[in-house]
Amino acid sequence: MRTWFLLGSLAAVTALAQPANNTAFEMASLREDIRELKQRVGELSLTVEQLTRENAALQSKAGQNYATIDQLNKAIGELSRSLQGDLAEQKRDILTHVAAQLEKMGKQTNAALEALAKNQAARPAVQTSFAEDFPKQGINYTVQPGDTLSSIAQKNGARLQDIVNANKISDPTKIRVGQTLFIPLGK
């Protein structure tokens, strides 16, 4: 600690002994500080110029790349109108297609009905009156899968016309499985 005290005292004595040298030292120090300040101000000026250029570039990009809310609303409105027009056109196309399909199906249905009507006209007349001259004695028979009136008549030794008359069957092709028929026997 004593060494420090001695060094400090020595420096103070030297400073008092040479006031002219001290002033020259301070002047040199001030000049160096001013030179450093000038250099720093120059650097700051360059930085400000660079930031000004970057800011101008960003502002010009902002004007080019960004839309206002009004511009966005107009674009959305135009898009909405365009979509509504496209949907209306698509709806018309679908309705036209459906109408054509319905017309085609109507023609097919009419053709099928006409063919059916022709077949009905070509069919023998349905028997609506029945004779009562069949044997009154016989058996009951339940129609089985694959049975026809003629096969039933053959199995039971009966006449087909007697079975038709006894059961008042207007269309001999329309018997059902499980149906019970009276089979007249003998004559």
Tell me: pLDDT of 16 over 60: no
Q: How far apart are CA 125 and CA 122, in angstroms?
A: 9
Q: Is residue 108 part of a domain?
A: yes
Shared domain for 71 and 115, answered yes or no, is yes
Return all residues near 138 (Cβ < 8 A) that are at least 6 apart: 158, 166, 182, 183, 184, 185, 186
pLDDT (mean) for 67-84: 89
User: 84 and 98 share a domain?
Assistant: yes
Which band of pLDDT confidence, cut at 50, 70 and 90, is reported for residue 3? very low
Structural domain contains residue 3: no
At 109-161, the pLDDT tens digits run: 999 998 888 877 666 665 677 888 888 899 999 999 999 999 999 999 999 99
The 10s digit of each residue's pLDDT in 18-70 is: 555 788 888 988 899 899 999 999 999 999 999 999 998 888 776 665 678 88
Grouping H, G, I as helix, E, B as strand and the rest as coil, residue 149 is helix
The answer as to whether 130 is a domain residue is no
pLDDT of residue 80: 93
User: Would 132 be classed as within a structural domain?
Assistant: no
The per-residue pLDDT for 24 is 86
Question: Whole domain around residue 101: which residue ranges?
Answer: 67-123
Same domain, 97 and 62: no
Query: How many structural domains is the chain composed of?
Result: 3
Are the beta carbons of 142 and 178 closer than 8 angstroms? yes
Retrieve residue 182's tokens.
Answer: 């009276």
Q: Which of 142, 134, 137 is nearest to 168 (CA)?
A: 134
Q: Give the pair of three-digit tokens for residue 97.
A: 């297609």
Same domain membership, residue 100 and residue 114? yes
Q: Of 131, 147, 138, give the one whose Cα is nearest residue 179.
A: 147
* 2 is a domain residue: no
Task: State the CATH number of the domain containing residue 171.
Answer: 3.10.350.10
Tell me whether residue 8 is in a domain.
Answer: no
List, in order, residues 6 or more apart from 22 with CB less than 8 Å away.
15
Would residue 51 count as lying in a domain?
Answer: yes
